[in-house]
């Protein structure tokens, strides 16, 4: 038997984020006797490179990664001023670990630092993978742009989840010249397929019957634009007394959103469900999916919502490449919240249907994509992706 190929994914963490979820979907598809994934993540709990640092707070996917045979390695969180210490920790890591055939960097803000070091230490294939099409405001966003400069020249391969994400990280010229491979975020589409019986069971569990159920899945941070979402829902409540909002996810902005709900008098209609290991069940319970983001790469949650047969109202800042079905309507977040509420009410009556084949045909099923990744990891041939 040939030696198992090990692939290192570099991420901010192993929490329930979009990039992490898509990598885990892919990981589950691998023959792990042939291919294994390891994870290099970041934490403010360490000062230098550590292996399975006990100081780091456990995250959502840690247990599953270890059960699948993967390792989790920890670097200090990059804060610009600690550049020398950060670089030293990366150098220490790659001097100690020579087992990786591929290093795939999903954290592009510092990929220009760690990918060249990986290459210098003998890693055959390095990949910079753009997963988003925007940065946060302020100094952090400026620093991210600075450290991404010329990233297209610092990796063997450049991947992006959408053309928009590719241009944002690698530049218009690199995308137009074909230097960036566009690989749409794929999901385990079969898990999300609409099932009336499962819908009834989940709604009963949540105490929902004939209500109009609005849903959103996403981390509570600036990018996802929860304040606007809550304003939209408040306006909808003026029009539909039976409206309920399900919010899946966690994050630093959750408490302020709860306070906003109380201030608007809608807190009794909003269910904060946190992170869920089986989010596919909650999509079944929804009637309309909202995604009013400021920016996205190619949002996996929008792919999931369509796989569940949901009508989706989405910010027009989100790439059209995520539109796999006729269920998506793009709206401007510059509009008054009441305009979104009107569109929700007008969209509420439709026939829910099985969209699995549509998602597969559009290239959003991970089982198909995994075959291309297996060849890439084994042979460095990206033509099947």
DSSP summary character for residue 223: G
**Dihedral (CA of 164, 168, 174, 180) sign:** negative
pLDDT, tens digit (0-9, with 9 covering 90-100), for 293-343: 999 999 999 999 999 999 999 999 999 999 999 999 999 999 999 999 999
- Which pLDDT does position 49 carry in this prediction? 81
pTM: 0.91
Place of tokens 């610092």: 154
Say whether 199 sits in a helix, a strand or coil: helix
Strand order in the sheet with 311-315: 270-274, 243-248, 212-217, 288-291, 311-315, 328-331
Would you mind telling me the total number of residues written for the chain in this entry? Answer: 385
Per-residue pLDDT of the chain (385 residues; tens, 9 = 90+): 469 999 999 999 999 999 999 999 999 999 999 999 999 999 998 988 888 778 899 999 999 999 999 999 999 999 999 999 999 999 999 999 999 999 999 999 999 999 999 999 999 999 999 999 887 888 888 888 988 999 999 999 999 999 999 999 999 999 999 999 999 999 999 999 999 999 999 999 999 999 999 999 999 999 999 999 999 999 999 999 999 999 999 999 999 999 999 999 999 999 999 999 999 999 999 999 999 999 999 999 999 999 999 999 999 999 999 999 999 999 999 999 999 999 999 999 999 999 999 999 999 999 999 999 999 999 999 999 9
Q: Are strands 311-315 and 270-274 parallel, antiparallel or unpaired?
A: unpaired
pLDDT, tens digit (0-9, with 9 covering 90-100), for 177-232: 999 999 999 999 999 999 999 999 999 999 999 999 999 999 999 999 999 999 99
């Amino acid at each position: 038997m040939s030696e198992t190929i090990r692939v290192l994914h570099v991420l901010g963490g192993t929490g329930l984020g979009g990039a992490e979820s898509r990598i885990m979907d892919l990981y589950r598809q691998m023959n792990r006797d042939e291919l294994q994934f390891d994870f290099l993540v970041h934490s403010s709990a360490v000062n230098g490179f550590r292996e399975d640092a006990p100081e780091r707070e456990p995250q959502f996917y840690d247990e599953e990664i270890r059960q699948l045979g993967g390792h989790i390695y920890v670097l200090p969180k990059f804060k610009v001023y600690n550049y020398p210490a950060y670089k030293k920790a990366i150098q220490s890591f790659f001097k100690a670990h020579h087992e990786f055939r591929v290093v795939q960097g999903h954290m592009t803000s510092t990929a220009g630092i760690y990918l060249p070091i990986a290459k210098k230490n003998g890693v055959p294939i390095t990949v910079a993978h753009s997963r988003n099409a925007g940065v946060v405001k302020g100094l952090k966003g400026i620093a991210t742009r600075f450290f991404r400069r010329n990233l297209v020249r610092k990796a063997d391969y450049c991947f992006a989840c959408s053309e928009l994400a590719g241009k944002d990280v690698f530049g218009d010229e690199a995308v137009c010249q074909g230097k960036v491979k566009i690989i749409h975020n794929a999901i385990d589409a079969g898990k999300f397929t609409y099932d009336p019986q499962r819908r009834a069971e989940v709604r009963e569990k949540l105490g929902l019957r004939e209500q109009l159920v609005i849903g959103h899945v996403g981390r509570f941070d600036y990018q996802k634009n929860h304040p606007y979402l809550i304003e939209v829902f408040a306006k909808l409540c003026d029009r539909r007394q039976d409206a309920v909002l399900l919010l899946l996810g966690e994050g630093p902005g959750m408490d302020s959103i709860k306070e906003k709900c109380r201030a608007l008098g809608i807190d009794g209609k909003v269910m904060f469900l946190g992170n869920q290991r089986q989010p596919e069940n909650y999509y079944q319970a929804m009637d309309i999916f909202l995604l009013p983001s400021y920016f996205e790469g190619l949002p996996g949650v929008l792919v999931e919502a369509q796989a569940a047969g949901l009508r989706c109202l989405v910010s027009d800042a989100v790439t059209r490449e995520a539109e796999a079905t006729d269920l998506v309507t793009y709206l401007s977040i510059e509009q008054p919240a009441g305009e979104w509420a009107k569109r929700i009410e007008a969209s509420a009556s439709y026939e829910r249907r099985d969209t699995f084949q549509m998602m597969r045909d559009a290239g959003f099923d991970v089982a198909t994509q995994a075959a291309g990744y297996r060849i890439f990891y084994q042979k460095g041939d990206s033509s099947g992706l």
